[in-house]
Structure 1
Amino acid sequence: MRKLLSLLFVPLVAAATLTTVGAPATAHPAKPFPARIALPNGFTPEGLTIGRGTTVYVTSILDGAVWRGDLRTGRGSVLIPAVPGKDKAGLKLDPQGRLWTADFSGGGASVYDAETGAQLAHYQFTDEPGSYVNDLVITKRAVYFTDSGRQVLYVVPLGHGGRLPAATAFRVLPLSGPAATLDAYHNGIVALPDGDLLVAQMLPGRLVRIDPRTGGSRLVDLGGYSVERADGLVLRGHTLYVIRNLTNVIAVVRMNSGYTAGVVQREITGPQLRSPATGDLLGSALYVVNGRFDVESTPDTDYDIVRVPA
């Protein structure tokens, strides 16, 4: 889904200079993609994913609305209408053109047609109070969800060609080892090339590597660096972006060959980051959504997506 495109300028092919023209033809660079994209006031965003082309989707943790926009133009509109009490956190687009959302305090996940917004499926993982289905990652065989209030992962297996299973076909995977730490607040999740999963523990500021078959886990060695307030994770090759919300920092971590340890190469920060929740890559840029968790959300509170160099 991630396209290796240049986001600053789209080169134009200059026309060949004709001998009858007194001056050579001049190529005019296209307008650069906007560095900031405004979301509707009061939207209270949390999840973001980039889909096909330059399409971007953002969830609302206030009322479950999903906004769809274009990173090239900065324009967009609500695709999935708000439903009071139906908050959504993370979301991802699968190869079949379906949007999967983590339904946060609702204890489940929903699947939508990314073009029409029509709901295709719903999986109710738990009705236990204090559960918060927060983020997800899609692999060829399954979709994995974190729960910020419980030491488990929810696993929705996928059939041949990505076929959706029955509503009751999911399983609950208990975690062990450091991933079973109470009150760690599991948040962002990505899949590693060998099939293991990497999960952010937001409150202790750690990353844990989880075996999706057994639920066993081990800590990732960051050389003493704390990723406290780690929210979203974005992985490209051996570069991991850890988006730390209330600290207004994005840590750029170079992972080793086995993804068991990493070294922080740099930190991205600046006034454009306002409690960033998560992000996604497009070409040479990282797009992050500002959740503004440090202010009280009102109908007039402004929210946005911002672009930073990856």
Structure 2
Amino acid sequence: MSRRTLAIVISTVLAVLVGAPPAVASSSTTVLKLPNGFQPEGIAIGERPYAYFGSRLDGDILRVGLVTGERRVITQGPGTPSLGLKIDKQERLFVAGGSGGNARVVDTHNGKVLKSYTLQTSPSFINDVVLTGDAAWFTDSTNPVLFKLPLGSRKGLPGKAVRVPITGDMVYATGNNANGIAETPDGKALIVVQSNTGRLFKVGYNGKSREIDLGGRDVLNGDGLWLRGNTLYVVQNRLNVITKIQLDKDATKGKVVSSTTDKAFDVPTTIAEYGKRFYLPNARFTTPATPDTTYTAVGIKIP
């Protein structure tokens, strides 16, 4: 794949969503060009100015310099998707394997796969991952279960993940169920979005779920989640917005305070933060995927 330089695009847009507060347009937008045909979905950024993207086509992991725009595939995929991504302090990349039913851990320094895990042998969609103080947690959009992978040292990753069934308020239905995942502000539980219903749930580490009261609102097509303090950001992919929600201290209630869009959005999925910006890959689900289809990632000021 050829290397491309970083493109800076200034965009202004204002959109109004039916039943939602007016979306606020970002004043400046950074657009990172990704390889044609790559089909990005996941993104992770660590302490260094590099964004890592997973391909839902073949699972390749691409590193892009946020300053230089330099691109390099650090590891070839297993032929199945790489979706949700997170980086720990040891710069290990935890990868959700989508329809492959798997997960793996990659050393971002050399691209070496440190460990691979088979999470499901039946039809599944391992969609996203979050890192808590002691574990990586993976969602499955097909089956009502979370997978807990305890965090070890670089040479001490566990042999297998722990299966944690989801019980309580979250009931799986037809479509894409549990998707994005984050910690609660107090770190005592998890937050999971159910994409097909637009509902948010607080999920205990034992798997028991309770719906978060949004005052009658929803986040339909909710995908990636990002928590900053008591503020939760939800990427609503096909609506091309980031919805900002103020949570109470227990993450039992939330208030939708704003929605942000940008004309550079083209079905953004997941979200990562670096400096004073959010970065989101454009998955372009509504555009036919071909080897020549163009793809980008978008950086906007944090709303």
TM-score using structure 1 length: 0.84
| Alignment correspondent of 1:278 | 270
Whole-angstrom distance in 1 between the partners of 2:233 and 2:156: 30
Which of 270-279 and 155-164 deviates more?
A: 155-164
Which one of the candidate residues 180, 192, 203 is aligned to 2:196?
A: 203
Whole-angstrom distance in 2 between the partners of 1:77 and 1:307: 19
Whole-angstrom distance in 2 between the partners of 1:105 and 1:179: 21
Whole-angstrom distance in 1 between the partners of 2:195 and 2:29: 30
CA contact (8 A) 1:205 1:228 kept: yes
| Alignment correspondent of 2:46 | 51
Which one of the candidate residues 172, 191, 197 is aligned to 1:181?
A: 172
**Deviation at residue 99 of structure 1 after TM alignment:** 0.8
The amino acid that maps onto 2:199 is R
| Alignment correspondent of 2:32 | 37
2:149 aligned with 1:156: yes
1:70-219 superposed matches below 5 A: 70-83=65-78, 85-129=79-123, 131-159=124-152, 163-166=156-159, 169-183=160-174, 185-192=177-184, 193-212=186-205, 214-219=206-211
| Alignment correspondent of 2:12 | none
Deviations 1:41-71 (A, max 9, x none): 0000010011122111000001101100111
Which one of the candidate residues 247, 256, 260 is aligned to 1:268?
A: 260
Whole-angstrom distance in 1 between the partners of 2:58 and 2:40: 10
**Deviation at residue 285 of structure 1 after TM alignment:** 1.2
| Alignment correspondent of 1:230 | 222
How many residue pairs align between the two structures?
274
**Deviation at residue 176 of structure 1 after TM alignment:** 0.7
Whole-angstrom distance in 2 between the partners of 1:80 and 1:51: 17
RMSD: 1.8
2:297 aligned with 1:302: no
CA contact (8 A) 1:243 1:251 kept: yes
**Deviation at residue 87 of structure 1 after TM alignment:** 1.2
Whole-angstrom distance in 1 between the partners of 2:172 and 2:62: 34
**Deviation at residue 162 of structure 1 after TM alignment:** 8.9
| Alignment correspondent of 1:20 | none
Whole-angstrom distance in 2 between the partners of 1:200 and 1:283: 26
CA contact (8 A) 1:240 1:255 kept: yes
Deviations 1:146-171 (A, max 9, x none): 000000001112347893111xx321
| Alignment correspondent of 1:16 | none
Whole-angstrom distance in 1 between the partners of 2:93 and 2:154: 16
Which one of the candidate residues 257, 266, 280 is aligned to 2:249?
A: 257
**Deviation at residue 180 of structure 1 after TM alignment:** 3.4
Whole-angstrom distance in 1 between the partners of 2:89 and 2:171: 31
Whole-angstrom distance in 1 between the partners of 2:125 and 2:234: 20
CA contact (8 A) 1:234 1:279 kept: yes
CA contact (8 A) 1:34 1:73 kept: no
| Structure whose CA Rg is larger | 1
Deviations 1:212-242 (A, max 9, x none): 1x21110111111110000100111111110
Question: Relative contact order: is structure 1 or structure 2 higher (C-alpha 8 Å, sep ≥ 6)?
Answer: 2
Stretches of structure 2 that go unaligned for 5 or more consecutive residues are 1-7, 9-27
